[in-house]
Structure 1
């Protein structure tokens, strides 16, 4: 599955885009203006996405990757 397919499937399942998840992650305290805070681990973010949005591991990692700057 391509990266874009992961993002498209997440949008279909949750109704949220990577930008929406970025806003929510900032509210949760995972991100700041520079990106992912140094004290935040990938598992904290992926566990949140799995619990609150019922995303699988691969889909949660795709959103995490967008936080790291991946776009394709």
Structure 2
């Protein structure tokens, strides 16, 4: 599955784009000024995405990867 397919599936399941998740992550303090908060561990973010949005590990990691700046 391509990276874009992961993102498309996430949007179909949750109704949220990576930009939406980024705003939510900023509100939770996972991101500061659009960048990953150095005090936040990847596991904290993936657990949040799994618990609150029902994402699997691979899909949660895809969103985390967008927070690191990957777009493709």
The Cα shift of 1:48 comes to 0.1
Unaligned runs of 5+ in 2: none
Question: TM-score normalised to the size of structure 2?
Answer: 0.98
User: Structure 2 matches for 1:1-72, cutoff 5 A?
Assistant: 1-72=1-72
Cα shift readout 1:45-71 (whole Å, capped 9, x = no counterpart): 000000000000000000000000000
Question: Secondary structure at the residue paired with 1:50?
Answer: helix
- Partner secondary structure for residue 43 of structure 2: helix
Q: Write the distance in 2 (CA, Å) between the matches of 1:21 and 1:34.
A: 11
CA RMSD for the aligned pairs? 0.6
Which ranges in structure 1 are unaligned for 5 or more consecutive residues?
none
Q: Distance in 2 between matches of 1:68 and 1:22?
A: 10
Q: TM-score, normalised by structure 1?
A: 0.98
How far is 1:34 from its partner?
Answer: 4.8
CA distance in 2, matches of 1:43, 1:3: 20
